């Protein structure tokens, strides 16, 4: 009999994170009668996760390989194999709270949504840069349970989606090395009338490794966020329409950042950093508007 839920994980060269995630899934407390499976797609061409997955004794674990380095291909491999009526997505640098799956299952019983998204709470592995406080620089937006969501808040970091929505739709590999393939796909579903809601009780924790607890990494992520946002706008609206909206906004945004530097300096380095990151986001917008490419995930 097919399971109720397929938990889909795309992983690439994060054995410690994947082991931590699988251990958290072993501690789940799902409601009675809920059948679930776990699909892990190893996106490392060298199959680096194979020893860990072979030794893992998690019930219902299915191990798949996708040697093409592209997260969209890995997610699509999971979709092709999934059998559950609902698809849950997690990243391999996260851990799920014991009540995570039960919270999603309880909310979908209300029958008023096609998908749910939950909070991703940052957790530092080590405090490398103390003034970069996790709650100020790594926390994501949260909402009351039941809040209807727009495209900007949709990703596979913590998602629970009706599988029937995805039977003939897939993540776009053209975005697989750039980022945003999840936002783009869920955005298409929104345009087709899908109803996506927030479930604040379905919590996961994202581990921030020492290499990411630095302003340089945050700047790179901000730049990529601006780039991907504009890239998706170009795909939706066309390059000309996106340019007419994007150029004035981005140039004005950069100007405001520059003008705000003296005032931000009075607030200390954290205030300066927040302004700098906003400028990096605007620079990412402009990079895409110029027709340049950026592949954050392109390096081996």
Q: What is the pLDDT of residue 1?
A: 82
Burial class of residue 300, CB neighbours in 10 A (0-12, 13-18, 19+): exposed
pLDDT-derived band of residue 68, with 50, 70 and 90 as boundaries? very high
The pLDDT tens digits of the residues spanning 96-123 come to: 999 999 999 999 998 889 999 999 999 9
Q: What is the mean pLDDT of residues 21-34?
A: 96
Q: What is the mean pLDDT of residues 175-188?
A: 97
pLDDT-derived band of residue 299, with 50, 70 and 90 as boundaries? very low
The alpha carbon of residue 175 and the mean position of all alpha carbons in its chain are separated, in whole angstroms, by 13
Q: What is the mean pLDDT of residues 52-79?
A: 96
**Which residues fall within 8 angstroms of residue 240, CB to CB, at 6 or more apart?**
none
Tokens encoding 139:
């926390």
Give the three-class secondary structure for 206: strand
Q: What is the mean pLDDT of residues 184-203?
A: 97
Closest CA to 18 of 96, 71, 92, 78: 92
**Which residues fall within 8 angstroms of residue 262, CB to CB, at 6 or more apart?**
none
List b or e across 168-205, with b for residues whose CB sees 16 or more CB atoms inside 10 angstroms: eeebbbebbbbbbbbbbbbbebbeeebebbbbbbbbbb
Q: In what order do the strands lie in the sheet with 5-11?
A: 61-65, 36-42, 5-11, 86-91, 158-162, 115-117, 196-198
Closest CA to 203 of 131, 116, 78, 125: 116
The pLDDT tens digits of the residues spanning 271-292 come to: 999 999 999 999 999 999 999 9
DSSP state letters, 70-110: -HHHHHHHHHHH--SSEEEEEETTEEE-TTHHHHHHHHHTT
pLDDT-derived band of residue 298, with 50, 70 and 90 as boundaries? low
Q: What is the pLDDT of residue 110?
A: 85
The pLDDT tens digits of the residues spanning 230-261 come to: 999 999 999 999 999 999 999 999 999 999 99
């Amino acid at each position: 009999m097919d399971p109720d839920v397929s938990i889909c994980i795309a992983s690439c060269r994060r054995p410690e994170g994947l082991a931590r995630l699988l251990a958290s899934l072993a501690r789940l407390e799902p409601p009675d009668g809920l059948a679930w499976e776990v699909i892990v797609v190893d996106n490392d061409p060298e199959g680096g996760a194979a020893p860990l997955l072979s030794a893992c004794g998690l019930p219902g674990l299915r191990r798949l390989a996708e040697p093409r380095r592209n997260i969209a291909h890995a997610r699509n491999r999971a979709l092709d194999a999934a059998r559950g009526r609902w698809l849950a997505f997690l990243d391999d640098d996260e851990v799920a709270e014991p009540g995570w799956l039960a919270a999603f299952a309880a909310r979908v019983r209300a029958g008023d949504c096609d998908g749910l998204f939950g909070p991703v709470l940052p957790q530092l592995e080590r405090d490398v840069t103390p003034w970069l406080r996790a709650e100020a620089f790594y926390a994501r937006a949260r909402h009351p349970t039941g809040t209807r969501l727009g495209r900007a808040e949709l990703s596979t970091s913590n998602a629970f989606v009706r599988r029937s929505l995805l039977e003939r739709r897939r993540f776009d590999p053209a975005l697989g090395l750039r980022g945003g393939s999840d936002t783009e796909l869920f955005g298409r579903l929104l345009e087709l009338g899908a109803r996506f809601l927030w479930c604040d009780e379905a919590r996961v924790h994202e581990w921030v490794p020492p290499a990411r607890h630095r302003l340089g990494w945050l700047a790179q992520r901000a730049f990529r966020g601006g780039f991907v946002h504009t890239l998706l706008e170009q795909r939706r609206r066309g390059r000309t329409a996106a340019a007419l909206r994007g150029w004035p906004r981005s140039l004005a945004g950069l100007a405001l950042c520059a003008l705000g530097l003296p005032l931000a300096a009075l607030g200390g380095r954290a205030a300066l950093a927040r302004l700098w990151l906003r400028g990096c986001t605007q620079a990412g917008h402009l990079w895409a508007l110029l027709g340049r490419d950026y592949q954050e995930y392109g390096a081996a």
